[in-house]
Amino acid sequence: MEEHESRYTLLFDKMRVAVGREVYKAYYRQKEREVYLDKLASKHNISFEECEEKGIQVDYLISHTEESIEDGVIKKEMLKKLALCLEKLSEQERLLIYALFFQGKSERQLSAETGTPQRTINDRKRRILLKLKKLLEK
């Protein structure tokens, strides 16, 4: 092993072992992949070990959980169109939609905050969503 490669070491059984640069990189690439797969599995309530036990190929799961390029482009275009349609709403309509869908407030919460009856908020929301639907279909 060359002298400049000896600066790469890995810990095995509580001992530092000198390894080459490629081995070092491959080892940590695999470690990062395991961390990524664990995060992905926890997000979908499955474990890496459970997949191995059931004979499920993790690569298969990843390919089915990742968004395709086409889906990403379509989603991006729809979000642009939605943003343009939201701009066509009145300020009052935008504020209602923002509170309900972007801030996650319930109709009941909004009713208590504004003093507007919940039924009125529900009716306004329904009308605004219909208006947005028509704007999006254009």
Q: pLDDT tens for residues 116-138?
A: 999 999 999 999 999 999 998 88
CATH number of 81-137: 1.10.10.10
Sign of CA pseudo-dihedral 113, 119, 120, 124: positive
Record the tokens describing residue 100, joined without a space.
């309900």
Model pLDDT for residues 90-111, shown as the tens digit of each residue: 999 999 999 998 899 999 999 9
Measure CA 116 to chain center: 34
This prediction has a pTM of: 0.51
Furthest C-alpha separation in the chain: 77
Average pLDDT of the residues in 41-64: 66
- For residue 36, what pLDDT band results from cuts at 50, 70 and 90? confident
The better pLDDT of the pair 46, 133 is held by 133
* Domain spans, the chain: 9-65, 81-137
Q: What is the 3-state secondary structure (H, E, C) of 106-120?
A: CHHHHHHHHCCCHHH
- For residue 21, what pLDDT band results from cuts at 50, 70 and 90? confident
CB 21, CB 7: distance < 8 Å:
no
Burial (CB < 10 A; 0-12, 13-18, 19+), residue 96, is buried
- CA–CA distances in Å: residue 93 to residues 97, 117, 120, 131: 6, 16, 13, 10
